[in-house]
Amino acid sequence: MKTTRIAVLAYDGCMGMEIFGLCDTLLVANRVAQALEGAASAPLFEVTVISLTGADATAAGGLRIGTRRAPRARPDLLVIPGMELSDRASCLQPLRRLAPETAYVRRAFAKGTPVAAVCVGAFLLGEAGLLNARRATTSWLFAADLAQRFPQANVDVSALLVEDGGVTTTGSFSATFDLAMHLIGKAASPKVRRAVARMALLDDRRASQAPYIDSRMLARPSGTFGAQVAGWLEERVAEPYDLKALAQVFHVSARTLLRRFKDDAGISPLAHLQQARIGKAKLLLESTSQSVAQVTAKVGYGDVATFGTLFKRLVGHSPAEYRRRFKTAARQ
C-alpha cells in the first residue's frame, strides 16, 4: 500500500498537542500495521512537521517545535493545527499575523493538495477562502463565531469531523485524535484501526461534539438586536415558536428579523431556541431527578417520543443515555 505523505504546518502560537497528538498516533499506526501485516510492508504514513522558514516554531505556552522548511514536493495532505485565541473577538478579525501561512495554504490547495484543520485551525482555512460553499466544523465553543466570520461556510456545530471537497475540519482540541483515526481508517485495514484505538485508549466510534456542548458557555451577542431576540427566546423556551409573532414583538418583518438575527448570532432564531431548549434539557437531566417526561414539558415539547428523537439526533444519545453518562447530582 502506498505511504501517505502528511505535512503538518507549525507556526508561532499554534497548539502543540494538536501536532504531537496527530504525529504520535500515526506513528503508532505505522508500528501496529507493521506488526500485524509484516515488518517489510511500507509505513502507512510519513509525517513531517513543517514551517514556512524551517526555523523552530514557538507553540502556545512557549513550547519549541522543531520544523523543516515547507517542501516543494506536494504532500498527500496538509494539516493545520489550531491556534491560541486570546479572546472571542480575536477570531472575528482577520488573522493578519498568519497572512503568510494563509497564503501558503491557499496556494497548496489550488495546486491540488487536500487540507485538514484541527479545532480553530478552521479559521485559517476560512481566511484562505477554502470554507466558502463548504460544510465545516470547529470547536463547538467557537462554531457560531466561525459562521459569523465566514457566512458562506455551512458550519455544523455538532459534527466532530467534516470532509467536503478536499477540505477537512474537526471539532475541539482532542479531535486531533479523531482526525488521526479517520486517516488511519482510510489508509489501513479495520483490524489495524481497531488495534490502534485499543492501544491508545481512543474512542473510535464517537461522531459528534453535541454531548459536550454547554450552552451556558456559548457566545451571545451583547447589546445588539440579536441579543434582545435571544434573551426573549431564552426566557420562553417552553412556549411554541412562532416566527410571525416574534417579528411582531420586535416591530420588524419576519424576513428582517431572520436577516438581522443571523448577522448578529450566525444562526437562525429557531436554531438558537433549539440550542437553548436542548441546553436546558441537558442541565435538567444532569442535575435533577425529574423524569424525561417532565424535562420534555419544561423545554417546550409536548410529546416525549418526538423530543427523544430530536434529542438523540442533536446530542447523539437518548435523554436516558445522556443522563446515565453525565448525571452528577447523585454523586454529590
Task: Please state the domain count of the chain.
Answer: 2
DSSP string for 119-175: GGGHHHHHHTT-STTSEE---TTTHHHHHHH-TTSEE-TTBSEEEETTEEEE-STTH
Q: What percent of the chain has pLDDT over 70?
A: 95
Q: Of 190, 212, 234, which residue is a domain's last?
A: 212
Each residue of 193-248: pLDDT tens digit? 999 999 999 988 787 887 887 777 766 656 789 889 999 999 999 999 999 999 99
For residues 195 and 255, state if they share a domain: no
- pLDDT for the residue numbered 195: 96
For residues 208 and 255, state if they share a domain: no
- pLDDT for the residue numbered 118: 98
Q: Of 178, 212, 246, which residue is a domain's last?
A: 212
The model's confidence at residue 329, banded by pLDDT at 50, 70 and 90, is very low
Residues whose CB falls within 8 Å of the CB of residue 314, separated by 6 or more in sequence, listed in order? 158, 210, 274, 278
For residues 262 and 280, state if they share a domain: yes
Cell of 177: 485524535
Each residue of 269-313: pLDDT tens digit? 998 898 889 989 998 998 899 999 999 999 999 899 999 998 988
For residues 155 and 227, state if they share a domain: no
For residues 22 and 87, state if they share a domain: yes
Which residues constitute the domain of residue 92?
A: 4-212
For residues 47 and 162, state if they share a domain: yes
Q: Which residue has the cell 481508517?
A: 185
The enclosing domain of 259 has a CATH number of 1.10.10.60
- pLDDT for the residue numbered 312: 87
Q: Give the single-character DSSP code of 116.
A: E
The enclosing domain of 76 has a CATH number of 3.40.50.880
DSSP string for 221-273: --SSHHHHHHHHHHTTTTSPP-HHHHHHHTTS-HHHHHHHHHHHHSS-HHHHH
- pLDDT for the residue numbered 281: 93
For residues 182 and 129, state if they share a domain: yes
How far is it, in rounded angstroms, from Cα 302 to Cα 77? 48
Q: Of 212, 236, 255, which residue is a domain's last?
A: 212
The stretch 157-169 carries a mean pLDDT of: 94
Q: Give the single-character DSSP code of 14.
A: B
The model's confidence at residue 265, banded by pLDDT at 50, 70 and 90, is confident
For residues 186 and 235, state if they share a domain: no
- pLDDT for the residue numbered 222: 66
For residues 189 and 115, state if they share a domain: yes
For residues 149 and 264, state if they share a domain: no
Does residue 330 register a pLDDT over 50? no
Each residue of 48-93: pLDDT tens digit? 999 999 999 999 999 999 999 998 889 999 999 999 886 677 778 8
- pLDDT for the residue numbered 332: 40
Neighbours of 155 (CB within 10 A): 27
- How far from each other are the two terminal CA atoms of the chain, in whole angstroms? 53
- pLDDT for the residue numbered 94: 85
For residues 73 and 159, state if they share a domain: yes
Each residue of 120-160: pLDDT tens digit? 999 999 999 999 999 999 999 999 889 989 999 999 988 99
